Amino acid sequence: MHDARVLIDLGDEAVRLLARRGYTLDLSALEALQSRRNSGIQAGDELRARSKQVAQEVQRTAKQGGDVGELKETARALKEQVQQNEAELEQVRQELTDLLLTIPNLPDDEAPDGFSDADARELRRVGEPPRFDFTPKDHVDLGEAMGILDFGRAAKLSGSRFSVLRGAGAALERAIASLLLDVHTRRHGYVEHAVPYLVNRRTMTGTGQLPKFEEDLFKTGVADRDLFLIPTAEVPLTNLYADEIVPPAELPLALTAYTPCFRSEAGSYGRDTRGLIRMHQFSKVEMVRICAAEQAREQMQLMVSHAEACLQELELAYRVVALAAGDTGFSAQLTYDLEVWLPGQETYREISSVSDFGTFQGRRAGIRTRDEKGKPTPAATINGSGLPLARTIAAVLEQHQQADGSVLLPKALHPYLGFARIAADGTPVEE
């Protein structure tokens, strides 16, 4: 969430920056609400001071034996005015908060202009996409032919955009998750967490999913409270420190978790309906870092390298792109996407997004640290996928497929699997 004063001070520059991401800032409405809030605070202070003064006059007059009737009436009237002022001020504060909660983060100058993935700027490519002397299959045809992917039975259970992994496929998902967690915790210094998959409205608001994206969430309830299934472990991991002041000496914090993720994918029907690319339920290893504001960009670059390390461990060809300002997520000021090569589609597809949120989430969630003078100040947050299991499985199957329909598995996975290849009939093969 923004500091209204900062947006107002930026003025036309804030309007320009937000226009880069397709948002029209009504600066006059924001200024009017901020002015009403400031006037309300000033009026309240004056009323309370006057009320205190009259109360003292009542005591002084009473001690002197004077008539306090009129003074008491004045005191009662002032008390009512104070209460009315507080109610009006609370309403204005809520209106201001509601407006600020809908304003996306300001895009960084590094983000290129544009509104779609076609406007992203490629930063680098790593690894050569595999070349085949046969026509490569996509992961759906491969997985179903081997019997390790079953979309038909998943549809029977839950409808479209669900999957069932079987045998070596289920073992492959478990092995990739274990590898990724080990890479992040043993090599990169992240602390693994097991977190709730259901969170409250305050938690979803803290990281920016609410109020704007409620239609994208699965909502349920327990007793007297609304709960939402998490769309990513970013939500509970970041909000672990909501309404806390993290000592500077403990920063940066590096957190990771392996969780299921649930997304309604509202408005996305007709896109990526085949296979593992866009699911209602999938598993993911997530990375979150919390740091001082001046550390954020350095920490983002570090996280990008951590996501890249996972792709390199899995021997996957990929590229890194900077997303266009208008294609950047609501809470982010800059996002790098890691896109993995999918031979079945003959294109690069996003497998990890690493985003620098600046202090945007810190303000919303009340995550703070202290500056050099000891004053509480919003902390910065960064998050990234490290990696989503479904898309990673798709990439492993497609990039490592063989002419006979089998799949040779990356060496880093062999200790976790106990086998090195999945035969064309889905049988694990030790080699």
DSSP string, 230-258: -SSTHHHHHHTTTTEE--GGGPSEEEEEE
Catalytic residue among 21, 319, 363, 391: 391
Catalytic residue among 21, 263, 297, 319: 263
Q: What percent of the chain has pLDDT over 90?
A: 94
215 is in an annotated binding site: no
The domain tally of the chain equals 2
pLDDT tens digits along 145-168: 999 999 999 999 999 999 999 999
263 is in an annotated binding site: yes
148 is in an annotated binding site: no
Q: Which of 62-66, 124-128, 190-194, 231-235 has the lowest mean pLDDT?
A: 62-66
- 3-state DSSP call for residue 291? strand
Residue 353 annotated in active site: yes
Let me know if residue 109 belongs to a domain.
no
125 is in an annotated binding site: no
218 and 72 fall within a common domain: no
50 and 126 fall within a common domain: no
Query: What integer best gives the mean pLDDT of the chain?
Result: 96
Q: Is the pLDDT of residue 25 over 60?
A: yes
Of 336, 246, 243, 236, nearest to 291 by C-alpha is 246
Residue 122 annotated in active site: no
129 and 170 fall within a common domain: yes
pLDDT tens digits along 86-97: 999 999 999 999
- The confidence score (pLDDT) of residue 431 equals 79
325 and 239 fall within a common domain: yes
Residue 391 annotated in active site: yes
Last residue of a domain, one of 102, 133, 153: 102
21 and 82 fall within a common domain: yes
Let me know if residue 110 belongs to a domain.
no
Last residue of a domain, one of 69, 102, 135: 102
Query: What are the tokens at 186?
Result: 């043993």
Q: Is the pLDDT of residue 269 over 60?
A: no
Cα distances (angstroms) measured from residue 111 to each of 114, 268, 323 = 9, 24, 6
321: pLDDT confidence band, cut at 50, 70 and 90? very high
97 and 131 fall within a common domain: no
323 and 388 fall within a common domain: yes
232 is in an annotated binding site: yes
405 and 283 fall within a common domain: yes
Last residue of a domain, one of 77, 102, 127: 102
234 is in an annotated binding site: yes
Catalytic residue among 173, 350, 363, 406: 350
pLDDT tens digits along 345-401: 999 999 999 999 999 999 999 999 999 999 999 999 999 999 999 999 999 999 999
Q: Which CATH number does the domain housing residue 175 bear?
A: 3.30.930.10
Q: What percent of the chain has pLDDT over 70?
A: 98
- The confidence score (pLDDT) of residue 68 equals 87
Catalytic residue among 278, 315, 349, 370: 278
Q: Which CATH number does the domain housing residue 41 bear?
A: 1.10.287.40
Query: What are the tokens at 253?
Result: 């914090």
Q: What is the DSSP letter of 275?
A: T
- The confidence score (pLDDT) of residue 224 equals 82
Mean pLDDT, residues 262-284: 82
Provide the residue range defining the domain that includes 17.
Answer: 4-102
Let me know if residue 66 belongs to a domain.
yes
214 and 97 fall within a common domain: no
64 and 127 fall within a common domain: no
126 and 69 fall within a common domain: no
